[in-house]
Amino acid sequence: MAIYINEHTNVLIQGITGNQGTFHARQMVKYGTRIVAGVSPGKGGKDVDGIPVYDTVAAAAEEHRLDASILFIPAPFAKDAAFEAIAAGIKVLVMLPEHIPVHDAMAIMAYAKSNGTVVVGPNTFGLVSSGKCKIGIMPNQFFIPGDIGVVSRSGTLCYEIVGNLTAAGYGTSTVVGLGGDRVVGLNFIEVLAEMEKDAGTKAIVMVGEIGGSAEEEAAAFIKGHIKKPVIAYLAGKSAPPGKRMGHAGAIIERGKGTFEGKVQALNAAGVPVAELPFQVPELVAAALKK
Protein backbone atom coordinates (compact mmCIF):
# COMPACT_ATOMS: atom_id res chain seq x y z
CA MET A 1 0.00 0.00 0.00
CA ALA A 2 1.07 3.58 -0.49
CA ILE A 3 -0.37 7.07 -0.88
CA TYR A 4 -0.48 9.36 -3.92
CA ILE A 5 1.76 7.14 -6.07
CA ASN A 6 2.39 3.44 -6.46
CA GLU A 7 3.79 0.80 -8.81
CA HIS A 8 1.14 1.59 -11.45
CA THR A 9 1.79 5.32 -11.61
CA ASN A 10 2.84 6.52 -15.06
CA VAL A 11 5.28 9.38 -14.72
CA LEU A 12 6.18 12.20 -17.10
CA ILE A 13 9.39 14.23 -16.80
CA GLN A 14 9.13 17.87 -17.89
CA GLY A 15 12.58 19.13 -18.84
CA ILE A 16 13.94 15.63 -19.38
CA THR A 17 16.73 16.64 -21.79
CA GLY A 18 18.50 18.97 -19.34
CA ASN A 19 21.41 17.67 -17.24
CA GLN A 20 19.40 17.26 -14.07
CA GLY A 21 16.39 15.91 -15.94
CA THR A 22 18.41 13.21 -17.68
CA PHE A 23 20.45 12.28 -14.60
CA HIS A 24 17.39 11.87 -12.40
CA ALA A 25 15.36 10.18 -15.12
CA ARG A 26 17.98 7.44 -15.00
CA GLN A 27 17.96 7.34 -11.21
CA MET A 28 14.18 7.06 -11.12
CA VAL A 29 14.14 4.35 -13.76
CA LYS A 30 16.79 2.51 -11.75
CA TYR A 31 14.55 2.77 -8.68
CA GLY A 32 11.72 1.19 -10.64
CA THR A 33 9.59 4.22 -11.44
CA ARG A 34 7.46 3.91 -14.59
CA ILE A 35 8.85 6.87 -16.51
CA VAL A 36 6.73 6.74 -19.66
CA ALA A 37 7.58 10.01 -21.39
CA GLY A 38 9.50 13.26 -21.25
CA VAL A 39 8.80 16.76 -22.51
CA SER A 40 11.30 19.30 -23.80
CA PRO A 41 10.05 21.95 -26.23
CA GLY A 42 11.89 21.64 -29.53
CA LYS A 43 13.15 18.15 -28.73
CA GLY A 44 10.03 16.23 -29.73
CA GLY A 45 10.83 12.94 -31.47
CA LYS A 46 14.12 12.34 -29.64
CA ASP A 47 14.50 9.96 -26.71
CA VAL A 48 16.44 9.68 -23.45
CA ASP A 49 17.58 6.08 -22.84
CA GLY A 50 14.55 4.96 -24.81
CA ILE A 51 12.10 7.28 -23.00
CA PRO A 52 10.26 9.13 -25.78
CA VAL A 53 10.51 12.93 -25.70
CA TYR A 54 7.65 15.24 -26.81
CA ASP A 55 7.39 18.97 -27.49
CA THR A 56 4.39 19.51 -25.25
CA VAL A 57 2.59 17.73 -22.44
CA ALA A 58 -0.51 17.52 -24.64
CA ALA A 59 1.52 15.69 -27.27
CA ALA A 60 2.80 13.23 -24.65
CA ALA A 61 -0.75 12.79 -23.33
CA GLU A 62 -1.93 11.78 -26.80
CA GLU A 63 0.37 8.75 -26.62
CA HIS A 64 0.47 7.83 -22.92
CA ARG A 65 -1.71 7.74 -19.84
CA LEU A 66 0.02 10.26 -17.56
CA ASP A 67 -0.68 10.07 -13.84
CA ALA A 68 2.10 12.20 -12.45
CA SER A 69 4.73 14.62 -13.62
CA ILE A 70 7.96 15.99 -12.23
CA LEU A 71 9.43 19.33 -13.24
CA PHE A 72 13.11 19.88 -14.01
CA ILE A 73 12.45 23.39 -15.24
CA PRO A 74 14.17 26.66 -14.28
CA ALA A 75 12.09 28.68 -11.79
CA PRO A 76 11.10 31.50 -14.18
CA PHE A 77 9.38 28.95 -16.47
CA ALA A 78 8.02 26.65 -13.82
CA LYS A 79 4.58 28.29 -13.64
CA ASP A 80 3.96 27.72 -17.32
CA ALA A 81 5.14 24.11 -17.08
CA ALA A 82 2.96 23.51 -14.02
CA PHE A 83 -0.09 24.99 -15.74
CA GLU A 84 0.65 22.80 -18.75
CA ALA A 85 0.73 19.65 -16.64
CA ILE A 86 -2.44 20.56 -14.73
CA ALA A 87 -4.29 21.53 -17.92
CA ALA A 88 -3.37 18.13 -19.38
CA GLY A 89 -5.16 16.46 -16.48
CA ILE A 90 -2.12 15.23 -14.56
CA LYS A 91 -3.18 14.50 -10.99
CA VAL A 92 0.13 14.48 -9.10
CA LEU A 93 2.62 17.21 -9.89
CA VAL A 94 6.05 17.26 -8.26
CA MET A 95 7.71 20.65 -8.36
CA LEU A 96 11.40 20.44 -7.56
CA PRO A 97 12.53 23.96 -8.46
CA GLU A 98 13.42 26.40 -5.73
CA HIS A 99 13.20 30.20 -6.10
CA ILE A 100 9.78 30.09 -7.72
CA PRO A 101 8.16 33.51 -7.20
CA VAL A 102 5.56 33.28 -4.45
CA HIS A 103 2.87 34.86 -6.65
CA ASP A 104 3.52 32.14 -9.22
CA ALA A 105 3.19 29.52 -6.50
CA MET A 106 -0.16 30.97 -5.39
CA ALA A 107 -1.39 30.95 -8.99
CA ILE A 108 -0.30 27.34 -9.44
CA MET A 109 -2.00 26.20 -6.22
CA ALA A 110 -5.26 27.92 -7.15
CA TYR A 111 -5.27 26.34 -10.59
CA ALA A 112 -4.31 22.93 -9.21
CA LYS A 113 -7.12 23.09 -6.68
CA SER A 114 -9.69 23.92 -9.36
CA ASN A 115 -8.51 20.96 -11.37
CA GLY A 116 -8.08 18.43 -8.59
CA THR A 117 -4.31 18.15 -8.96
CA VAL A 118 -2.11 17.37 -5.95
CA VAL A 119 1.03 19.52 -6.01
CA VAL A 120 4.11 18.38 -4.11
CA GLY A 121 6.49 21.29 -3.56
CA PRO A 122 7.85 23.56 -4.89
CA ASN A 123 11.36 23.38 -3.46
CA THR A 124 11.00 19.73 -2.57
CA PHE A 125 12.95 16.53 -3.16
CA GLY A 126 9.70 14.89 -4.24
CA LEU A 127 7.92 11.87 -2.88
CA VAL A 128 8.49 8.14 -2.92
CA SER A 129 6.38 5.10 -2.22
CA SER A 130 9.27 2.91 -1.22
CA GLY A 131 10.08 0.08 -3.55
CA LYS A 132 7.27 1.10 -5.89
CA CYS A 133 7.65 4.55 -7.31
CA LYS A 134 10.06 7.39 -6.66
CA ILE A 135 9.28 10.80 -8.12
CA GLY A 136 12.08 13.03 -7.00
CA ILE A 137 15.77 13.43 -6.50
CA MET A 138 16.38 11.55 -3.26
CA PRO A 139 19.16 8.95 -3.17
CA ASN A 140 17.69 5.56 -4.06
CA GLN A 141 19.46 3.45 -1.50
CA PHE A 142 17.77 4.87 1.60
CA PHE A 143 14.19 4.32 0.53
CA ILE A 144 13.50 0.68 1.25
CA PRO A 145 9.99 -0.68 1.73
CA GLY A 146 8.57 -0.69 5.22
CA ASP A 147 5.68 0.64 7.23
CA ILE A 148 6.82 4.05 8.47
CA GLY A 149 5.30 7.04 6.71
CA VAL A 150 7.50 10.14 6.68
CA VAL A 151 6.44 13.69 5.88
CA SER A 152 8.93 16.53 5.95
CA ARG A 153 9.21 20.26 5.33
CA SER A 154 12.90 20.06 4.54
CA GLY A 155 14.76 17.86 2.10
CA THR A 156 18.18 16.70 3.19
CA LEU A 157 17.04 16.62 6.79
CA CYS A 158 14.39 14.16 5.70
CA TYR A 159 17.01 11.90 4.09
CA GLU A 160 18.87 12.16 7.38
CA ILE A 161 15.86 10.94 9.32
CA VAL A 162 15.03 8.25 6.78
CA GLY A 163 18.69 7.21 6.86
CA ASN A 164 18.49 6.84 10.62
CA LEU A 165 15.29 4.81 10.31
CA THR A 166 16.85 2.59 7.66
CA ALA A 167 19.95 2.05 9.76
CA ALA A 168 17.68 0.97 12.62
CA GLY A 169 15.86 -1.49 10.36
CA TYR A 170 12.75 0.55 9.68
CA GLY A 171 11.69 0.82 6.05
CA THR A 172 9.30 3.45 4.79
CA SER A 173 5.86 3.26 3.18
CA THR A 174 5.53 6.68 1.54
CA VAL A 175 7.90 9.59 2.14
CA VAL A 176 6.62 13.04 1.18
CA GLY A 177 8.70 16.21 0.94
CA LEU A 178 6.29 19.09 1.40
CA GLY A 179 8.79 21.63 0.13
CA GLY A 180 10.59 24.46 1.81
CA ASP A 181 8.79 27.46 0.29
CA ARG A 182 6.24 29.67 1.96
CA VAL A 183 3.51 28.50 -0.40
CA VAL A 184 3.52 24.78 -1.17
CA GLY A 185 0.89 22.37 -2.42
CA LEU A 186 0.52 19.83 0.36
CA ASN A 187 0.63 20.43 4.09
CA PHE A 188 1.19 18.10 7.05
CA ILE A 189 -2.53 17.72 7.68
CA GLU A 190 -3.38 16.49 4.20
CA VAL A 191 -0.54 13.97 4.20
CA LEU A 192 -1.29 12.80 7.76
CA ALA A 193 -4.91 12.18 6.77
CA GLU A 194 -3.80 10.04 3.81
CA MET A 195 -1.30 8.11 5.92
CA GLU A 196 -3.95 7.44 8.57
CA LYS A 197 -6.05 5.75 5.87
CA ASP A 198 -3.11 3.87 4.33
CA ALA A 199 -3.02 0.22 5.40
CA GLY A 200 0.69 0.12 4.58
CA THR A 201 1.60 2.74 7.19
CA LYS A 202 1.87 1.79 10.89
CA ALA A 203 3.55 4.90 12.30
CA ILE A 204 4.22 8.39 11.02
CA VAL A 205 7.30 10.56 11.36
CA MET A 206 6.91 14.31 10.92
CA VAL A 207 10.02 16.36 10.16
CA GLY A 208 9.34 20.01 10.85
CA GLU A 209 11.20 23.20 11.54
CA ILE A 210 10.75 26.60 13.13
CA GLY A 211 8.71 29.32 11.43
CA GLY A 212 5.14 29.30 10.17
CA SER A 213 2.35 27.48 11.94
CA ALA A 214 2.18 24.21 10.01
CA GLU A 215 3.33 22.08 12.96
CA GLU A 216 0.87 23.69 15.38
CA GLU A 217 -1.99 23.13 12.93
CA ALA A 218 -0.85 19.56 12.40
CA ALA A 219 -0.81 19.01 16.16
CA ALA A 220 -4.41 20.18 16.46
CA PHE A 221 -5.39 17.87 13.62
CA ILE A 222 -3.55 14.85 15.07
CA LYS A 223 -5.43 15.25 18.34
CA GLY A 224 -8.78 14.91 16.60
CA HIS A 225 -8.10 12.66 13.63
CA ILE A 226 -4.96 10.51 13.81
CA LYS A 227 -4.96 7.25 15.71
CA LYS A 228 -1.62 5.91 14.44
CA PRO A 229 1.49 6.86 16.43
CA VAL A 230 3.17 10.07 15.26
CA ILE A 231 6.77 11.02 16.08
CA ALA A 232 8.26 14.42 15.31
CA TYR A 233 11.67 15.90 14.81
CA LEU A 234 12.04 19.68 14.60
CA ALA A 235 15.03 21.66 13.37
CA GLY A 236 15.92 25.17 14.43
CA LYS A 237 16.13 25.01 18.24
CA SER A 238 19.34 27.03 18.19
CA ALA A 239 18.31 29.48 15.47
CA PRO A 240 18.16 33.21 16.17
CA PRO A 241 14.77 34.87 15.44
CA GLY A 242 14.39 35.06 11.68
CA LYS A 243 13.61 38.09 9.56
CA ARG A 244 10.05 39.29 9.99
CA MET A 245 7.54 40.19 7.36
CA GLY A 246 6.45 43.63 8.72
CA HIS A 247 3.67 43.77 11.27
CA ALA A 248 1.64 41.60 8.93
CA GLY A 249 3.91 38.62 9.59
CA ALA A 250 3.45 38.99 13.33
CA ILE A 251 -0.30 39.40 12.95
CA ILE A 252 -0.57 36.26 10.86
CA GLU A 253 1.58 34.12 13.11
CA ARG A 254 0.24 35.55 16.40
CA GLY A 255 3.11 34.10 18.39
CA LYS A 256 3.25 30.77 16.59
CA GLY A 257 6.38 29.59 14.86
CA THR A 258 8.84 29.20 17.77
CA PHE A 259 10.59 25.94 18.55
CA GLU A 260 9.18 25.79 22.07
CA GLY A 261 5.64 26.53 20.92
CA LYS A 262 5.76 23.77 18.35
CA VAL A 263 7.17 21.21 20.79
CA GLN A 264 4.46 22.13 23.28
CA ALA A 265 1.68 21.83 20.72
CA LEU A 266 2.96 18.47 19.48
CA ASN A 267 3.46 17.05 22.95
CA ALA A 268 -0.04 18.15 23.88
CA ALA A 269 -1.28 16.11 20.92
CA GLY A 270 0.61 13.07 22.20
CA VAL A 271 3.44 13.43 19.71
CA PRO A 272 6.94 12.88 21.17
CA VAL A 273 9.57 15.22 19.70
CA ALA A 274 13.10 13.87 19.16
CA GLU A 275 15.91 16.21 20.18
CA LEU A 276 18.52 14.58 17.94
CA PRO A 277 17.98 12.91 14.58
CA PHE A 278 19.26 9.54 15.73
CA GLN A 279 16.66 9.43 18.50
CA VAL A 280 13.83 9.17 15.98
CA PRO A 281 14.07 5.37 15.50
CA GLU A 282 14.07 4.85 19.28
CA LEU A 283 10.88 6.88 19.64
CA VAL A 284 9.31 4.98 16.76
CA ALA A 285 10.21 1.68 18.39
CA ALA A 286 8.73 2.83 21.69
CA ALA A 287 5.52 4.03 20.04
CA LEU A 288 5.07 0.79 18.08
CA LYS A 289 5.51 -1.29 21.25
CA LYS A 290 2.59 0.43 22.98
Partner 1 sequence: MKLFEYMGKELFARYGIPVPEGGVAATAAEAAEIAGKIGSVVVKSQILSGKRGKAGGIGFTEDPQEAAELASRMLGSELRGFTVDKVLVEQKLKIDREFYLALTVDGAARKPVILASAFGGMDIEDVPEEHMVRMHLDVTIGLQPFVAREVVRRLGVTGDVARQISAILSGLYKMFVELDAELVEINPLVISGDKVIAADAKVTIDDDALFRHKDLPVVEERTEAEKKAHELGLSYVELDGDIAVMANGAGITMATLDLIQYYGGKPANFLDAGGGAGVEPTAKALELLLSKNPKAILINIFGGITRCDDVANAFAYVKQNIGIPVPVVIRLVGTNEDKGREILRENGIEAYKFMHEAAAKAVEIATGGRN
Kindly identify the residues of this chain, within the stretch 123-182, that bind partner 1 according to CB under 8 A.
Answer: 125, 137-139, 142, 152-160, 163, 180, 182
- CA 26 from chain centre, in angstroms, equals 20
Q: How far apart are CA 7 and CA 277, in angstroms?
A: 30
Q: Is residue 217 a contact residue for partner 1 (CB under 8 A)?
A: yes
The stretch among 191-199, 223-231, 272-280, 281-289 that binds partner 1 (CB under 8 A) is 272-280
Burial (CB < 10 A; 0-12, 13-18, 19+), residue 288, is: middle
Q: Is residue 276 a contact residue for partner 1 (CB under 8 A)?
A: yes
Identify which of 221, 229, 123, 234 has the alpha carbon closest to the alpha carbon of residue 177.
Answer: 123
Minimum distance from residue 90 beta carbon to partner 1 (Å): 12
Which one among 11, 81, 175, 273 touches partner 1, defined by CB under 8 A? 81
Minimum distance from residue 202 beta carbon to partner 1 (Å): 25
Q: Is residue 87 a contact residue for partner 1 (CB under 8 A)?
A: yes
Q: Is residue 183 a contact residue for partner 1 (CB under 8 A)?
A: yes
- Is residue 8 part of the annotated active site? The answer reads no
Which one among 29, 144, 220, 235 touches partner 1, defined by CB under 8 A? 235
Give the number of residues written for the chain. 290
Q: How far apart are CA 4 and CA 118, in angstroms?
A: 8
Q: How far apart are CA 148 and CA 15, in angstroms?
A: 32
Neighbours of 19 (CB within 10 A): 9
User: Do the Cβ atoms of 72 and 98 come closer than 8 Å?
Assistant: no
Touching partner 1, residues 5-64 (CB under 8 A): 20, 24, 41-42, 44, 55-59
Which one among 168, 245, 268, 286 touches partner 1, defined by CB under 8 A? 245
Minimum distance from residue 147 beta carbon to partner 1 (Å): 23
